[in-house]
Amino acid sequence: MKSSYLAVLASLFCFMSISCGESSQIAATVNGKSITVQEVDQAFGGKAAQQIYSVRKATLDDLIDQKLLEDAAAAKKVSVDELLKQEVDSKISEPTPEEIKAIYDANKERIGEPLEKVKGQIVNSLKQNRKNSERNQFMAALKQKAKVETKLASPPVARVEVSVDDDPYLGADKAKVTVVEFSDYQCPFCGRARGTVNQMVETYKNDVKYVFRDFPLSFHQDAFGAHVAADCANEQGKYWEYNKVLFNSQTALKPDKLKEYAKQVGLDSSKFNQCLESNKYETEVQKDLDAGIKAGVTGTPTFFINGIVISGAQPFSKFKEIIDAELKK
């Protein structure tokens, strides 16, 4: 299936690519005016090349993993399935009642069902996460011992120009790499991304400038007000403390809670409440929203690493790969 898809993409790319010697070929005429293949290729923004590379890279990674597993299985004189049972499946522990309840309590409002009804799903999800983690660790160990050289050339990376505005940031002011995140305090995927963001900021404290921009989604009823509240906290120099509390309280972002959190982080309640009730920073939040839409943001979280787009709650390794490449330039 992957091979067929790749062949189609490759054919498409060859048709559109300047390298195929067809840049001056007429793709269409409109009222006597021609549109060349080169113009189509430029308008497409290099997406065809990136799609081909992504499919090739994913397929290559799968083939590398398979060869490593086959070699490791042969060394132990067992099948690949038996090897995975020994090295992965046998190490997966059963979730404890406390772990199951903790997951349920954290998602209770979203689930909307009694624990006993969804217990099996929670158990399966926890076990699958553990299996994925164990397999990733096992594959990482195999790769560390093996000699793997990847020579697949990547295409030029498409970049989007994104302003940092005057929004709060962490890290070095004049860092070589700027990471801009458009995020939503009520978005669960944004909450999951905090671990990656924290690891990135800690790892690259002197090389990365991380900027947080507001992008409250319209169907998250309490998100816009939470973003306004964060800007009010910023007035008193407690933006990041308040930002952390909001992400830790995603299901409780009503105005009374926002005021309660202000006390928790040591803000002057009177000044904060006045700021919040006046909607002082409503225009600022809307400005971030407009900037995100202009940059092509359609969901949260969306990150721009020197203009290179990462969508969703991706693992730290994805950020590291791009940041390290940017730092080497």
Domains and CATH numbers, the chain: 2-44 (no CATH), 73-145 (no CATH), 169-328 (3.40.30.10)
What pLDDT shows up at residue 53?
A: 81
Cα dihedral angle (195, 201, 204, 207), rounded to 10 degrees?
A: 150
- What pLDDT score was predicted for residue 75? 96
pLDDT band at 42 (very low <50, low <70, confident <90, very high): low
Q: Identify the weakest region by mean pLDDT among 32-41, 94-103, 201-210, 228-237.
A: 32-41
Instruction: Check residue 116 and give its pLDDT.
Output: 93
Helix (H, G, I), strand (E, B) or coil at 182: strand
Q: Summarize the confidence of residues 24-39 as an average pLDDT.
A: 81
pLDDT at 7: 47
Residue 46 has a pLDDT of 55
Work out the mean pLDDT of the chain and round it to a whole number.
89
Asked whether 68 and 142 are in contact (CB, 8 A), the reply is: yes
Question: Looking at the predicted structure, is the pLDDT value of residue 187 above 70?
Answer: yes
Burial bucket for residue 27 (CB in 10 Å: 0-12, 13-18, 19+): middle
State the CB neighbour count (10 A cutoff) for residue 282.
14
DSSP string, 282-302: HHHHHHHHHHHHHTT--SSSE
Predicted TM-score (pTM) of the model is 0.59
* Residue-level pLDDT at 16: 37
pLDDT of res. 180: 98
Identify the sign of the CA torsion 201, 164, 189, 51.
Answer: negative
The dihedral sign for the CA sequence 317, 319, 323, 326 = positive
Residue reference for tokens 């699958």:
128
Say yes or no to pLDDT of 201 above 90. Answer: yes
* Tokens matching residue 321: 């790969």
Peptide bond into 301 cis (omega under 30): yes
Residue 185: predicted pLDDT: 98
Q: What is the pLDDT of residues 74-84, one digit of tens each?
A: 999 999 999 99
Average pLDDT value for residue range 6-26: 48
Q: How confident is the model at residue 107, as a pLDDT?
A: 87
What are 236-260's pLDDT values in tens digits?
A: 999 999 999 999 999 999 999 999 9
Whether 46 contacts 13, CB under 8 Å: no
- pLDDT single digits (tens) 125-160: 999 999 999 999 999 999 999 988 888 877 667 788
**Residue 218: band (very low, low, confident or very high) from pLDDT cuts 50, 70, 90:** very high
- Per residue in 282-325, pLDDT (tens digit) is 999 999 999 999 998 999 999 999 999 999 999 999 999 999 99
Give me the pLDDT at residue 31, please. Answer: 87
Long-range pairs for 270-275: beta carbons < 8 A, 24 or more residues apart: 271/235, 271/236, 272/229, 272/232, 272/233, 272/236, 275/232, 275/235
Q: How confident is the model at residue 17 (pLDDT cuts 50, 70, 90)?
A: very low
Phi, then psi, of 311 in degrees rounded to 5: -105, 135
For 9, other C-beta atoms within 10 Å of its C-beta total 18
Residue 44 pLDDT level (bands cut at 50, 70, 90): low
Query: Residues 100-128: pLDDT tens digits?
Result: 999 998 888 888 899 999 999 999 999 99
pLDDT at res. 108 = 87
